Homo-oligomer: A and B are copies of this chain.
Amino acid sequence: MLEELKRIVYEANMELPKRGLITYTWGNVSGIDRDQGLFVIKPSGVDYEELKPEDMVVMDLDGNQVEGKLRPSSDTATHLELYKAFKEIGGIVHTHSPIATAWAQAGRPLPCYGTTHADYFYGEIPCARNLTEKETRDGYEKNTGAVIIETFKDRNPMHVPAVLCKNHGPFTWGTDAANAVHNAVVLEEIARMNLMTEQLNPSVLPAPQFMQDKHFMRKHGPNAYYGQTKES
Protein backbone atom coordinates (compact mmCIF):
# COMPACT_ATOMS: atom_id res chain seq x y z
CA MET A 1 0.00 0.00 0.00
CA LEU A 2 1.43 3.37 -1.05
CA GLU A 3 4.83 1.70 -1.49
CA GLU A 4 6.18 4.55 -3.63
CA LEU A 5 5.08 7.21 -1.14
CA LYS A 6 6.55 5.19 1.74
CA ARG A 7 9.88 5.07 -0.07
CA ILE A 8 9.76 8.84 -0.73
CA VAL A 9 8.88 9.62 2.88
CA TYR A 10 11.55 7.22 4.13
CA GLU A 11 14.19 8.93 1.99
CA ALA A 12 13.03 12.37 3.09
CA ASN A 13 13.38 11.28 6.72
CA MET A 14 16.88 9.94 6.07
CA GLU A 15 17.87 13.30 4.60
CA LEU A 16 17.45 14.93 8.04
CA PRO A 17 20.47 13.31 9.75
CA LYS A 18 22.48 13.54 6.51
CA ARG A 19 21.90 17.32 6.49
CA GLY A 20 22.78 17.68 10.18
CA LEU A 21 19.33 18.78 11.30
CA ILE A 22 18.72 15.90 13.68
CA THR A 23 20.13 14.61 16.96
CA TYR A 24 19.01 11.05 17.80
CA THR A 25 15.32 10.67 16.85
CA TRP A 26 14.31 14.35 17.12
CA GLY A 27 12.34 14.80 13.94
CA ASN A 28 9.76 13.42 11.59
CA VAL A 29 8.68 13.78 7.99
CA SER A 30 5.36 12.87 6.39
CA GLY A 31 3.95 12.96 2.86
CA ILE A 32 0.35 12.81 1.65
CA ASP A 33 -1.52 11.17 -1.21
CA ARG A 34 -4.34 13.67 -1.70
CA ASP A 35 -6.31 11.41 -4.07
CA GLN A 36 -6.53 8.61 -1.54
CA GLY A 37 -6.72 10.93 1.46
CA LEU A 38 -3.90 9.05 3.19
CA PHE A 39 -0.58 10.21 4.56
CA VAL A 40 2.59 8.35 5.43
CA ILE A 41 4.67 9.27 8.50
CA LYS A 42 7.76 8.11 10.38
CA PRO A 43 7.21 5.82 13.37
CA SER A 44 7.89 7.26 16.84
CA GLY A 45 11.33 7.13 18.44
CA VAL A 46 13.04 4.72 15.99
CA ASP A 47 16.76 5.21 15.33
CA TYR A 48 17.49 6.57 11.87
CA GLU A 49 20.16 3.92 11.43
CA GLU A 50 17.56 1.19 11.86
CA LEU A 51 14.71 2.84 9.97
CA LYS A 52 13.39 1.01 6.87
CA PRO A 53 10.86 2.08 4.22
CA GLU A 54 8.42 -0.61 5.38
CA ASP A 55 8.43 0.90 8.90
CA MET A 56 6.56 3.94 7.64
CA VAL A 57 3.03 4.25 9.06
CA VAL A 58 -0.05 4.98 6.92
CA MET A 59 -2.75 7.23 8.43
CA ASP A 60 -6.08 8.47 7.14
CA LEU A 61 -7.35 12.02 7.62
CA ASP A 62 -9.59 10.98 10.50
CA GLY A 63 -6.49 10.01 12.43
CA ASN A 64 -6.85 6.24 12.06
CA GLN A 65 -3.76 4.10 11.59
CA VAL A 66 -4.46 2.29 8.32
CA GLU A 67 -1.24 0.32 8.04
CA GLY A 68 2.04 -0.28 9.89
CA LYS A 69 3.12 -2.32 12.87
CA LEU A 70 4.79 0.53 14.72
CA ARG A 71 3.21 3.53 16.45
CA PRO A 72 3.27 6.69 14.35
CA SER A 73 5.28 9.76 15.38
CA SER A 74 3.99 11.37 18.57
CA ASP A 75 3.49 14.52 16.46
CA THR A 76 1.09 12.82 14.03
CA ALA A 77 -1.94 14.79 15.19
CA THR A 78 -0.12 18.02 14.32
CA HIS A 79 0.61 16.80 10.79
CA LEU A 80 -3.02 15.75 10.41
CA GLU A 81 -4.35 19.20 11.31
CA LEU A 82 -1.99 20.87 8.86
CA TYR A 83 -2.93 18.54 5.98
CA LYS A 84 -6.61 19.26 6.58
CA ALA A 85 -6.19 23.05 6.75
CA PHE A 86 -3.44 23.64 4.16
CA LYS A 87 -4.89 21.94 1.07
CA GLU A 88 -1.94 22.60 -1.22
CA ILE A 89 0.84 21.09 0.88
CA GLY A 90 2.18 17.62 0.08
CA GLY A 91 4.73 17.07 2.83
CA ILE A 92 5.53 18.21 6.40
CA VAL A 93 8.72 18.21 8.47
CA HIS A 94 9.30 18.76 12.17
CA THR A 95 12.81 19.06 13.58
CA HIS A 96 14.64 20.52 16.56
CA SER A 97 17.38 21.92 14.30
CA PRO A 98 19.41 23.96 16.78
CA ILE A 99 19.37 27.50 15.39
CA ALA A 100 15.75 27.58 14.25
CA THR A 101 14.91 26.13 17.67
CA ALA A 102 16.86 28.94 19.34
CA TRP A 103 14.69 31.50 17.51
CA ALA A 104 11.60 29.56 18.61
CA GLN A 105 12.86 29.48 22.20
CA ALA A 106 13.54 33.22 21.98
CA GLY A 107 9.93 33.62 20.83
CA ARG A 108 10.97 35.63 17.79
CA PRO A 109 9.81 35.54 14.16
CA LEU A 110 12.62 35.31 11.62
CA PRO A 111 12.94 38.66 9.76
CA CYS A 112 13.81 38.73 6.08
CA TYR A 113 17.31 40.22 6.04
CA GLY A 114 18.32 39.15 2.56
CA THR A 115 17.87 37.33 -0.69
CA THR A 116 18.63 33.87 0.70
CA HIS A 117 15.47 34.17 2.75
CA ALA A 118 13.48 35.91 -0.01
CA ASP A 119 14.30 33.16 -2.50
CA TYR A 120 12.21 30.74 -0.42
CA PHE A 121 10.00 32.58 2.05
CA TYR A 122 7.91 35.64 1.29
CA GLY A 123 8.22 37.92 4.30
CA GLU A 124 9.03 37.03 7.88
CA ILE A 125 8.64 33.49 9.18
CA PRO A 126 6.18 33.77 12.06
CA CYS A 127 6.57 32.49 15.59
CA ALA A 128 3.35 30.85 16.74
CA ARG A 129 2.13 31.66 20.24
CA ASN A 130 2.42 29.22 23.12
CA LEU A 131 -0.49 26.91 23.76
CA THR A 132 -2.52 27.73 26.84
CA GLU A 133 -2.45 25.39 29.80
CA LYS A 134 -5.80 23.94 28.73
CA GLU A 135 -4.71 23.49 25.10
CA THR A 136 -1.60 21.75 26.37
CA ARG A 137 -3.49 19.37 28.63
CA ASP A 138 -6.33 18.45 26.25
CA GLY A 139 -4.96 17.37 22.87
CA TYR A 140 -1.51 18.91 22.89
CA GLU A 141 -0.38 17.76 19.43
CA LYS A 142 -3.72 18.53 17.75
CA ASN A 143 -3.73 21.99 19.33
CA THR A 144 -0.17 22.58 18.18
CA GLY A 145 -1.57 22.22 14.68
CA ALA A 146 -4.51 24.48 15.49
CA VAL A 147 -2.23 27.25 16.74
CA ILE A 148 -0.10 27.02 13.58
CA ILE A 149 -3.27 27.32 11.47
CA GLU A 150 -4.37 30.32 13.56
CA THR A 151 -0.95 31.90 12.91
CA PHE A 152 -1.50 31.57 9.16
CA LYS A 153 -5.05 32.91 9.06
CA ASP A 154 -3.80 35.96 7.09
CA ARG A 155 -0.85 34.27 5.40
CA ASN A 156 -0.50 31.93 2.42
CA PRO A 157 1.25 28.79 3.70
CA MET A 158 2.69 28.14 0.22
CA HIS A 159 4.41 31.55 0.29
CA VAL A 160 5.78 31.06 3.80
CA PRO A 161 6.29 27.29 4.13
CA ALA A 162 7.61 27.37 7.70
CA VAL A 163 6.66 28.32 11.25
CA LEU A 164 8.47 28.49 14.58
CA CYS A 165 6.49 27.08 17.52
CA LYS A 166 7.36 29.07 20.64
CA ASN A 167 9.58 27.23 23.17
CA HIS A 168 9.47 24.22 20.88
CA GLY A 169 10.93 24.29 17.35
CA PRO A 170 10.18 24.57 13.63
CA PHE A 171 7.70 22.93 11.31
CA THR A 172 8.17 23.28 7.56
CA TRP A 173 6.11 22.02 4.63
CA GLY A 174 6.18 21.99 0.86
CA THR A 175 4.87 20.53 -2.36
CA ASP A 176 6.01 17.07 -1.23
CA ALA A 177 8.10 15.45 1.51
CA ALA A 178 11.43 16.18 -0.23
CA ASN A 179 10.52 19.82 -0.79
CA ALA A 180 9.49 20.16 2.86
CA VAL A 181 12.91 18.84 3.91
CA HIS A 182 14.55 21.28 1.49
CA ASN A 183 12.70 24.10 3.25
CA ALA A 184 13.81 22.79 6.66
CA VAL A 185 17.44 22.93 5.54
CA VAL A 186 17.02 26.46 4.18
CA LEU A 187 15.27 27.59 7.35
CA GLU A 188 18.18 26.42 9.50
CA GLU A 189 20.65 28.16 7.21
CA ILE A 190 18.86 31.52 7.29
CA ALA A 191 18.36 31.18 11.04
CA ARG A 192 22.17 30.91 11.24
CA MET A 193 22.78 33.88 8.94
CA ASN A 194 20.23 36.06 10.70
CA LEU A 195 21.60 35.38 14.18
CA MET A 196 25.01 36.56 13.01
CA THR A 197 23.48 39.48 11.11
CA GLU A 198 21.99 40.86 14.33
CA GLN A 199 25.25 40.28 16.20
CA LEU A 200 27.04 42.38 13.56
CA ASN A 201 24.38 45.09 13.44
CA PRO A 202 21.90 45.15 16.33
CA SER A 203 19.78 47.80 14.61
CA VAL A 204 19.61 46.06 11.23
CA LEU A 205 16.40 46.45 9.21
CA PRO A 206 14.73 43.94 6.90
CA ALA A 207 15.73 43.94 3.22
CA PRO A 208 13.79 46.48 1.12
CA GLN A 209 10.36 45.17 0.10
CA PHE A 210 11.02 45.54 -3.63
CA MET A 211 14.14 43.38 -3.25
CA GLN A 212 12.15 40.71 -1.39
CA ASP A 213 9.53 40.82 -4.16
CA LYS A 214 12.14 40.51 -6.90
CA HIS A 215 13.85 37.46 -5.43
CA PHE A 216 10.70 35.60 -4.45
CA MET A 217 9.18 36.20 -7.89
CA ARG A 218 12.43 35.29 -9.69
CA LYS A 219 12.07 31.76 -8.31
CA HIS A 220 8.33 31.39 -7.68
CA GLY A 221 6.38 33.92 -9.75
CA PRO A 222 4.64 33.26 -13.09
CA ASN A 223 7.74 34.53 -14.92
CA ALA A 224 10.27 32.63 -12.79
CA TYR A 225 13.62 32.36 -14.50
CA TYR A 226 15.76 30.54 -11.92
CA GLY A 227 16.71 26.95 -12.70
CA GLN A 228 16.12 24.93 -15.84
CA THR A 229 12.32 24.79 -15.88
CA LYS A 230 9.56 26.68 -14.18
CA GLU A 231 8.62 25.18 -10.86
CA SER A 232 5.31 23.42 -10.84
Which residues of B are found within 8 Å of A85, using beta-carbon distances? none
Least CB separation from A101: chain B residue: B193
Residues in A lying within 8 Å of B, measured CB to CB: 23-26, 43-46, 70-71, 74, 96, 98-99, 101-108, 113-116, 130-131, 133, 136-137, 140, 167-169, 182, 185-186, 189, 192-201, 204, 207-208, 210-211, 214, 218, 225-228
Q: Would you call B137 and A214 a contact (CB within 8 A)?
A: yes
Q: Would you call A133 and B226 a contact (CB within 8 A)?
A: no
Q: A108–B116 Cα gap in the complex (Å)? A: 17
Nearest CB of chain B from residue A205's CB, rounded to whole Å: 9
Which residues of B are found within 8 Å of A192, using beta-carbon distances? 98
Which residues of B are found within 8 Å of A71, using beta-carbon distances? 225, 227-228
Given the interface contacts A102-B196, A103-B200, A214-B136, does A225 sit within 8 Å of B74 by beta carbon? yes
- 13 other A-B residue contacts (CB within 8 Å) besides A102-B193, A137-B210: A23-B189, A24-B186, A45-B226, A99-B196, A104-B114, A105-B197, A107-B201, A108-B201, A131-B211, A136-B214, A137-B214, A140-B218, A167-B211
